[in-house]
Amino acid sequence: MCCPGRTPATSRTLRAACAVGAKSTTSPSRNSATFLTEEPRPIVRFPPPPIAWPVQRVLGACPEAARLDAPLGRVLLERRSIRRLSAPSVREVLALVGMVTMNRLVKAGDPFARSRRVSPSAGALHPVSIVVLRGGRARATALRVDPVGAHVQLLREREPGGAARLLTRLPQYLPQARGTMLVLLADRQLTAAAYRSPDSLLWRDAGALLATLQITAAGLGLGTCLLGLLGHEVARSLFPSGNRIVAVGACVVGRPTPPA
């Protein structure tokens, strides 16, 4: 995972950083120790209504990725974080995202619409979505692959500027990357409707999705690098009111570039 610079940290600064991180991902009233130690337990509640994504317009069907013919063992051994990346095509990125997030099977009659996807998820809920950021400082666009309809959505920032602000931070983490940034946003209410103490499940789901994304990208000949940031700017710009949507990670995907 790439973080900006290398700063020596004492145990005191590490404890402070952990406290800040826990506070930023939970409500102010929640205790960070409780967040870290309580185990999730299934409960019976009605699921929340579906998220109203701010869709500006539908751009068309999600492109299909090339067939993965490489042996799994070779893909696993060759997977690594790649920091020198050139810009991929939008088709390559959307095909990758579609492959790891689209529904393969939906449980009939289930109120939570539990589904099977390439990546595992607690309770088959799949609360984590991937937002694709394109553009730069002056103009940035946010795209999403609808996992149900398999089409690409152009999202509207309700508070403009969040995507552009996040993209300006990329050079601090990866100065030699010209790839596309992906931000993971989680629906906390969905998991909270099925489990007590749901927060650790969101982080586990996000980690599983990032790992699946990296392995799939390697199989498609693309490079990826996880980032040491969460993507709160995008969460706030798309959903400025309420605390249902939580930013849970980000990465960059592109074409591997050999050293000069």
The pLDDT assigned to 36 comes to 58
For residue 145, the model assigns a pLDDT of 96
Q: What is the C-alpha to C-alpha distance for residues 30 and 37, in angstroms, rounded to an integer?
A: 12
The mean per-residue pLDDT over the stretch 161-181 comes to: 92
Q: Output the average pLDDT for the chain.
A: 86
Q: Does 63 score more than 50 pLDDT?
A: yes
Residue percentage of the chain with pLDDT more than 90: 70
**pLDDT confidence of residue 32:** 41
Report the 3 state secondary structure along the chain: CECCCCCCCCHHHHHHHHHHHHHHHCCCCCCHHHHHHCCCEECCCCCCCCCCCCEEEEEEECCCCCCCCCCHHHHHHHCCECCCEECCCHHHHHHHHHHHHCCCEECCCCCCCCEECCCCCHHHCCCEEEEEEEECCCCEEEEEECCCCCEEEEECCCCCCHHHHHHHCHHHHCCCECCEEEEEEEEHHHHHCCEECCHHHHHHHHHHHHHHHHHHHHHCCCEEEEECCCCHHHHHHHCCCCCCEEEEEEEEEEEECCCC
More confident position, 138 or 15: 138
27 found inside a domain: no
Structural domain boundaries, residue 154: 48-256
pTM, entire model: 0.85
pLDDT reading at 21 higher than 60: no
CA 99-85-183 angle, 5° bins: 50
Please say if the pLDDT value at position 236 is more than 90.
Answer: yes
Q: Is residue 196 part of a domain?
A: yes
Confidence of residue 136 (pLDDT cuts 50, 70, 90): confident
Residue 2 lies in a domain: no
Radius of gyration in angstroms for the set of CA atoms belonging to the chain, rounded to a whole number:
18
Any domain includes 63 = yes
**Residues belonging to the chain:** 260
28 within a domain of the structure (yes/no): no
Query: Are the C-beta atoms of 168 and 94 separated by less than 8 Å?
Result: no
The enclosing domain of 231 has a CATH number of 3.40.109.10
The pLDDT tens digits of the residues spanning 102-117 come to 999 999 999 999 999 9
**Considering its fold, how many domains does the chain have in total?**
1
Other residues' Cβ atoms within 10 Å of the Cβ of residue 217:
27
At 89, is the pLDDT very low, low, confident or very high (cuts 50, 70, 90)?
very high
**Is pLDDT larger for residue 246 or for residue 6?**
246
Does residue 29 fall inside a structural domain? no
Which has the closest alpha carbon to 32: 21, 41, 40, 42? 21
pLDDT in the model for residue 38: 83
Q: Is 60 exceeded by the pLDDT of residue 14?
A: no
Quick one: tokens of 153?
A: 């959505």
- Which of 101 and 16 is assigned the larger pLDDT? 101
> Does the pLDDT at position 141 exceed 90?
yes
Dist CA 96 CA 65 (whole Å): 6
- Residue 13 predicted with pLDDT over 80: no
Residue 32 domain-assigned (yes or no): no
**226-249 average pLDDT score:** 94
Q: How much is the pLDDT for 159?
A: 92
Structural tokens at position 176: 């030699």
**Once rounded to an integer, what is the mean pLDDT over residues 149-169?**
94
Flag whether pLDDT at 35 surpasses 90. no
Type of residue at 37: T
Asked if 183 and 250 count as a contact pair (C-beta separation under 8 A), the reply is yes
Mean pLDDT of 178-204: 95
Give the model's pLDDT for residue 206: 97
- Domain membership of residue 125 (yes or no) is yes
Contact (Cβ atoms closer than 8 angstroms) between residue 2 and residue 81: yes
User: pLDDT by residue (tens digit) across 199-232?
Assistant: 999 999 999 999 999 999 999 999 999 999 999 9
